[in-house]
Structure 1
Amino acid sequence: MDCPTTSLIKNNYERFPRQMKVAARWLVDHPTEVALLSMREQARRARVPPATLTRLAKRLGFDGFDKLKEVFADRVRERPESFGGSGEELLARAEIGGDGVLICDTVNALQGHLSRFAQPPAIAALAAAADLIAEAKQIFCVGRRSSFPIAYLMHHVGSLLGSPTTLIDGMGGASDDALRSVGPEDILLAVTVNPYTRFTVQAAEFAVSRGAKLVALTDSELSPIAKISQAVIRVRTEVPSFIHTMTPALAAVECLMELVAARRGSFALRALADHEEQLMEFETYALKSGVGKNSHD
């Protein structure tokens, strides 16, 4: 949701006290819940005292939180989204409903997250990122911990399409070396979600300082890499569990690389054909019929 209130929050975010920043992130990232839930319940989910939400509302110029909530209620036109739960909540649901409830709740949450990619804001973000990547001289990919598979997928599929990609994986402690050549004609795809890995943020800041363009794959418009990027692909990570999900981030990269392939056109087709030829030369797969659509495995 993009409205004057969220813009006001983003513009003043860095000046908020620590707990108020947590509350501000909740408002920006969960507009549906802000419109529908009580202040006490929102405070519980945001993990801040209710008074923090009241103070934030007043700092934004409202008489109280109810007035702020009305702004969100006027603009929200979508169903409530699933939210993450604690380990205790997961155990309670399992005891009441069994395995099927746990699986269905998670699948339903993922369906909601994935459906967002078919909405105009997400399509526009993916298209903007694809434009930058398709024209880049070099493409660097970085992600740590649960974000690493996302960065690797981007690097791997990019290589199949003939894109000059470099995965910053830190092998042998050489993470810093990989960005030595980054410059104004290059792109860094940085993947990180709350609580945000320090190296990924540092790599993003370094690349931007060298004139490179940044594509941020992250969970909030207020994340430390979003505010310095040229394109932000926002993914949801909440599922009713004690972990966060990276499935939407994987889906986002798959959508993104489809767009990049379309932009690279015949060049991408030639690169894929060369790749298939090499796989056959090395007899990479046990089943020759597997070479083709599955050759990126």
Structure 2
Amino acid sequence: MGAFLAAVAAGYESLPKQLRAIARYVETNRARMVVTRITDVAAACAVQPSAVTRFAQRFGFSGYSELQALFRKAFSDGAAPGASYTERIRTMMAEGELQSSPGGITRQLLLANQGALEECALHLDDSALGRAVSLLHDAEHIYVVGVRRSLPAAAYLTYLLEHTAKRVQLVSGLGGTFAGQMRAIGKKDLLVAVSFAPYGKETRFCVRVAEGRGARVLSLTDSAMSPIARAATVTLLVKEASAFSFRSLTNTMCLSQGLFIALASRLELDLDQAVDQGAID
């Protein structure tokens, strides 16, 4: 399935508008593709079922059934524990076990995040993670940007990286100063862009500046078809849990910790000695 998704991402720009919508849906709803009917995919993408068939054929499948078989094979035999957690949540809600009480609400959020963590661990791209750590290691100056929902993750990653000897800057854009804060980025620097749908225009601006200056870009985003991913040197895909229409940042925070610890290991940084006692939370 990884080869198929990589092919979709590589060919995304050349796809017609309708097929782009299908590509985004398929990439962001991998677990659902196991049981989703062609008519449901078409309705979600506001296209005709024939467009879904054309999409499948575009990437070498005879039709939608053969494409769906790829997803079913990948997620068979318990390969997608996150899906079982989703079903568990739905069952508990249907049976009234998750009420609107603070405890019920919190448990639903915890269950959703538990499933998302399991699925994230299953689909973790070790090769991309290794390349991401190399980018961090080789950069002279690391810029980190994330706005609105992504800001806490960007701020936390900046905090972690500040425990190395690297020059690190959070591009906060305070007072509308995104352009000023990005002005000095150069070819030996790295921009870490954290952004999820609908992809903040300020983050997209920073990515364009970095790209124009020849700097490398590490993106943490939710789709290989996102504008952040398409311009990136390396992309780390992060799928978060959602409950009560509230999207979590649990996986993104864990990924930030993983990047920092891996970088610290590469730098041979002794976490017990490099900073004052208790400085890393």
TM bracket (short chain): 0.7 to 0.9
> How far did residue 207 of structure 1 move?
0.6
Change (3 A) 1:121 1:236: closer
Amino acid aligned to 1:134: H
Deviations 1:207-233 (A, max 9, x none): 122121111111111111112222211
Q: What is the correspondence of 1:133-172 to structure 2 with a 5 Å cutoff?
A: 133-172=136-175
Q: Of the candidates 223, 226, 234, which is equivalent to residue 229 of structure 2? A: 226
Q: What is the correspondence of 1:277-296 to structure 2 with a 5 Å cutoff?
A: 292-293=277-278, 295-296=279-280
- 2:164–2:269: 8 Å Cα contact kept in structure 1? no
- 2:81–2:118: 8 Å Cα contact kept in structure 1? no
> How far did residue 58 of structure 1 move?
4.1
Percentage identity across paired residues of the two chains: 26
Change (3 A) 1:211 1:270: farther
> How far did residue 6 of structure 1 move?
2.7
Amino acid aligned to 1:236: K
Change (3 A) 1:26 1:40: same
SS at match of 1:172: coil
Partners in 1 of 2:196 and 2:242 — Cα distance? 14
> How far did residue 181 of structure 1 move?
1.3
> How far did residue 144 of structure 1 move?
0.6
> 1:175 aligns to what?
178
More helix by share: 1
> How far did residue 164 of structure 1 move?
0.5
Change (3 A) 1:19 1:105: farther
- 1:207–1:214: 8 Å Cα contact kept in structure 2? yes
Is 1:112 aligned to residue 115 of structure 2? yes
Structure showing greater radius of gyration is 1
Q: What is the correspondence of 1:255-266 to structure 2 with a 5 Å cutoff?
A: 255-266=258-269
> How far did residue 8 of structure 1 move?
3.5
Partners in 2 of 1:74 and 1:60 — Cα distance? 17
- 2:22–2:52: 8 Å Cα contact kept in structure 1? yes
Partners in 2 of 1:32 and 1:95 — Cα distance? 23
Partners in 2 of 1:116 and 1:69 — Cα distance? 19
> 1:28 aligns to what?
27
Partners in 2 of 1:39 and 1:102 — Cα distance? 33
Partners in 2 of 1:179 and 1:106 — Cα distance? 36
TM-score by length of 1: 0.79
Deviations 1:78-127 (A, max 9, x none): 126359x9xxx99x948933146544443232123223454474333333
> How far did residue 9 of structure 1 move?
2.1
Q: Which 5+ residue runs of structure 2 have no aligned equivalent? A: none
Q: Of the candidates 244, 250, 255, which is equivalent to residue 253 of structure 2? A: 250
> 1:79 aligns to what?
80
Partners in 2 of 1:257 and 1:50 — Cα distance? 45
- 1:94–1:102: 8 Å Cα contact kept in structure 2? no
Q: Which 5+ residue runs of structure 1 have no aligned equivalent? A: 277-291
Amino acid aligned to 2:20: K
Deviations 1:167-202 (A, max 9, x none): 110112211111111111111100000111112112
> 1:285 aligns to what?
none
TM-score by length of 2: 0.83
Partners in 2 of 1:125 and 1:159 — Cα distance? 22
Tell me how many residue pairs correspond in the alignment.
Answer: 271
> 1:66 aligns to what?
65
Partners in 1 of 2:236 and 2:254 — Cα distance? 11
